[in-house]
Amino acid sequence: MRLLVTGGAGFIGANFVHQTVTTRPGVQVTVLDKLTYAGNRSSLDPIADRIEFVHGDIADAALVERLVGGVDAVVHFAAESHNDNSLADPWPFVQTNIVGTYSLLQAVRKHQVRYHHISTDEVYGDLELDDPSAFTEATPYNPSSPYSASKASSDMLVRAWVRSFGVRATISNCSNNYGPYQHVEKFIPRQITNLIDGVRPRLYGSGHQVRDWIHVDDHNSAVWEILERGRIGRTYLIGAQGERDNKSVVQLILEAFGRPADDFDHVTDRPGHDLRYAIDSSLLRTELGWTPRYSDFRTGLAATVQWYRDNENWWRPQKAATENAYAAAGEKVL
C-alpha cells in the first residue's frame, strides 16, 4: 500500500506514522505537513529514512492532487485543534479544517482513492456531568467552539462526498488522546512538563470537567482496523472507557511525581468550556473486534510521564513560547 498521511508531523499523526512503519513494513508512507507550531519535524526523526516527507498545506489544491494521485489511500489527521486558539482567531480553523478537507475530498474523488477522516468527539458538544449516557454514532452534532464547529463541518463534507460522488471514505470520532510527542500546550503534557520544571500544575476552573482519555497508540490501532475493514460511509467512535475529570488527571500526574494531591493552582476557566465527553465505542468493538491495549489509564499515564522525562530535548524548545503565550492571554491564578 502507498499511503498519504496528512498532519503526519503532529501529535497523533506522527505516532500513527511510527506505528505504521514499525508494524507494517510493506506500507510506503508519504507525510504531508504544513509544520505549523503544532507540527514538529523532529517527531519523525527516528524514522526519517523510512518515509517521504512533503512540507506543504492541505489547502493547496494542486499539491494535494499531485500527491493523492500517487497513493492508494489517504489518512487525514491534519487539523488546527486548540480550542483556546480557535477562540482568539477562528480563521485558521476554517482554512485548514474545512477548506483543506475540501481539497483532499476533491482529489480522492478524482483519483478514486480510499480516504479515512480523523475527527473528534467535540463535534457532539458536551454532556451533563450527571448524565449516564455517552456519545454514539447517532448523537446529533452540537459543536460549541470554532474548533469543534470547523471539525463538524469537515465531517459533513465527507458524508456528502460519499453520498453525492461515491467517495470511498470512513470517519472516526475519537476521545481525548494522550501519549508521546504531544505538544506542551495540551493539558496532560503541560502538567507533566511544568512538574519537571518544578512549577505547580494549573487547572481550569473547578476541574470537574470530564474527558474520555485514550492512549494515542490505541487510537491509531483502531484507525488501521477501520482503514482495512471498516464499512464505506460509516462513522466509528474510538474510545477506551477512560473517563476522568480534569482534577483527577492532575492528581494522578502529581502521584507519578510523588507530590501531594492538592499541589496545583486553579486558573480562570475558559469561555464555553465543555462539561463532559464520553464515547461509546461498541460499534468499533463488536463489528471490527478492536480492543485497547492501555485499558488502565494510570498505566498509560505513567508511561507518558516517563516519555516526557526521557525526551526533554524534544519538548524543551516549545516550552518557553507556550508558557509565554498563556501568560500573554491573561491566565490568572484564582
Write out the catalytic residue numbers.
121-122, 147
Cβ(124)–Cβ(141) below 8 Å: yes
- Which residues, other chains included, contact 227 with Cβ-Cβ below 8 Å and sequence gap of 6+? 73, 75, 114, 116, 170
248-262 burial: b if 16+ Cβ within 10 Å, else e: ebbbbbbebeeeeee
Q: Tell me how many degrees the CA angle 160-174-119 measures, rounded to the nearest 5.
A: 35
CA–CA dist 94, 81 (Å, integer) = 11
Please state, in angstroms and as integers, the Cα–Cα distance from residue 185 to each residue in 52, 86, 262, 299, following that order.
Answer: 28, 14, 22, 22
Give which of 9, 92, 22 is closest to 52, Cα–Cα: 9
> What is the phi/psi pair of residue 128, to 5°?
-65, 150
Q: Summarize the chain as % helix, strand, coil (round to 5).
A: 45, 15, 35
Please state the length of the chain.
Answer: 334
The DSSP letter of residue 179 is S
Q: Which helix (H) or strand (E) holds 310?
A: helix 297-310
Please state, in angstroms and as integers, the Cα–Cα distance from residue 253 to each residue in 202, 212, 332, following that order.
Answer: 12, 16, 22
